[in-house]
Amino acid sequence: MHARILVTIARGEVERLQERVLNGWEFVRERVAAVNPPFGYKIASEKHQLDTSPFLCLRETKQEISRATIGREIVEAFLEQKTLRLALRFINERYGITTYSHGKGRYAQGLFRFSPSGLRDWLLNPVIRGHICYLRKRDGQRLQPGDWDIRHNTHPDERLITDEEFGQIQAILKHNKRVRGYGTTALKYPLSGLIFCGECRSACYSVTGSRGRNLPGLNYYFQCKNWRLRACPQKQMVRMEVAEEAVVNALITAAEQIAAQQAFGGGEELEPTEVRELRSRLEALNKIAGYDADIEAAKEKLRFRIEEKQYSLSLQNQQQNTSSEKLLSTFLEKDYWHTLMDQEKQAIYRALVEKVIVKFGAVEEVILNL
């Protein structure tokens, strides 16, 4: 009997503790207070601030470097190297690995413990874009970014990355996930990593073939990787120049359409249906006479959701405008495209092309990222 009473008391105390914790977090969110600063940041007056205090000193130069400076270097390393592992290698070689040749070791031994997944989470953390984020987990499970509670522009002057850079980071990570290794030496042709089989939807690899007897040079093709395993019947290869011509034609057509729309003048854009529905619900609540705390709370939640949707829409429009500008500057003049180096073409393809579907030795579809 005594043991059961103790169990009941303990259970009640646990429930009260959980309730206090939940109420505490709710109070934090109501104040939009900063919590859990990521690398490169500190908390001051309940706000995220870049941590510019000295953090380490390179032995060779005696230069003091802050966490904020290193955080920015991490971003730049990823944008340049275009893989998580190569970015980590660059940062570790600069700061995290002690070398002993000629006695020039570094003071900052072992300070960087980012794994590739940890670096990915850090790059996607809304805090480094000037926002505060709550509720990234529920019941111990990580939620999708679209389900996070993000409060935008809480510290816009303390950002490590711009919205444009974040769009580039998202595009690189998305491409890496699809082709497993964006930026590696294997992706040496402009369209490498963007060609997919129309039969099995698998990626296509680059292959070479002889041009025939007494003919110098090689022909270059894309072929379904599953054909090599005989797991796909698509044996036929697509010439690289055929695939590239189809992509260039699709981009030229898109550029001409955008130019025509701009010349004609676009009409006023309507708000998305979801935003209009939220506004309608807010207007209905505003018509209710008198004061009620629950109604006021519902109004505030609706205003917050409208603001969130509008901000997301502005980001999408900004990214779309950037893609359109790049498309117009490159493909309205057809001759200009042929003057670019393969590396320049590859960067443009990554930004503007989602994928190219091939089948029976021909291009079936070019899907643009516009």
Q: What angle do CA 255, 258, 264 make, to 5 degrees?
A: 140
What the block records as the tokens of 51 is: 């941590």
User: Is the pLDDT at 107 greater than 80, yes or no?
Assistant: no
What the block records as the tokens of 36 is: 């859990």
* pLDDT (0 to 100) of residue 60: 74
Task: For residue range 213-263, list pLDDT tens digits in order.
Answer: 666 678 889 999 888 777 888 889 999 999 998 998 888 888 888 777 766
Across 48-74, average pLDDT: 86
Write the CB contacts of 34 (distance below 8 Å, at least 6 apart in sequence). 43, 46, 47, 48, 127, 132, 154, 155
User: Is the pLDDT at 16 greater than 70, yes or no?
Assistant: no
Q: What are phi and psi of 354, to 5 degrees?
A: -80, -55
End-to-end CA distance of the chain: 70
Q: What is the DSSP string of 276-316?
A: HHHHHHHHHHHTS-S--HHHHHHHHHHHHHHHHHHHHHHHH
Q: Which residues of 116-136 are buried (b: 16+ CB within 10 A; e: fewer)?
A: eeebbebbebbbbbbbbbbeb
User: Is the pLDDT at 356 greater than 90, yes or no?
Assistant: yes
* pLDDT (0 to 100) of residue 4: 55
* pLDDT (0 to 100) of residue 363: 94
According to DSSP, the β-strands at 218-224 and 141-142 are unpaired
Q: What angle do CA 310, 315, 320 make, to 5 degrees?
A: 125
User: Is the pLDDT at 342 greater than 90, yes or no?
Assistant: no
pLDDT band at 197 (very low <50, low <70, confident <90, very high): very high
* β strands within the chain, DSSP E: 41-44, 47-50, 54-57, 64-66, 132-134, 137-138, 141-142, 149-151, 195-197, 204-210, 218-224, 238-239, 353-359, 362-368
User: Is the pLDDT at 101 greater than 70, yes or no?
Assistant: no
Across 156-185, average pLDDT: 78
CA distance 34 to 51: 14
Cβ(68)–Cβ(54) below 8 Å = no
CA nearest 318: which of 167, 174, 151, 170?
A: 167
Across 150-177, average pLDDT: 87
* pLDDT (0 to 100) of residue 269: 58
The segment(s) of the chain belonging to CATH 3.90.1750.20 are: 30-179
Residue range 30-179, CATH number: 3.90.1750.20
pLDDT band at 180 (very low <50, low <70, confident <90, very high): low
Which sign does the torsion angle of CA 258, 262, 267, 270 carry?
positive
* pLDDT (0 to 100) of residue 358: 94
Task: For residue range 84-94, list pLDDT tens digits in order.
Answer: 888 888 888 77
Helix (H, G, I), strand (E, B) or coil at 233: coil
Mean pLDDT (the chain) is 77
User: Is the pLDDT at 99 greater than 50, yes or no?
Assistant: no
* pLDDT (0 to 100) of residue 255: 82
Across 271-296, average pLDDT: 80
Q: Which of 18-27, 145-154, 294-303 is least confident?
A: 18-27
For tokens 């935003």, name the residue.
Answer: 275
CA distance 351 to 359: 24
CA nearest 279: which of 309, 250, 249?
A: 309
Q: Which of 17-21, 55-59, 317-321 is least confident?
A: 17-21
Share of the chain above pLDDT 70, in %: 74
* pLDDT (0 to 100) of residue 277: 83
CA distance 44 to 33: 10
* pLDDT (0 to 100) of residue 50: 93
pLDDT band at 110 (very low <50, low <70, confident <90, very high): very low
Across 340-361, average pLDDT: 86
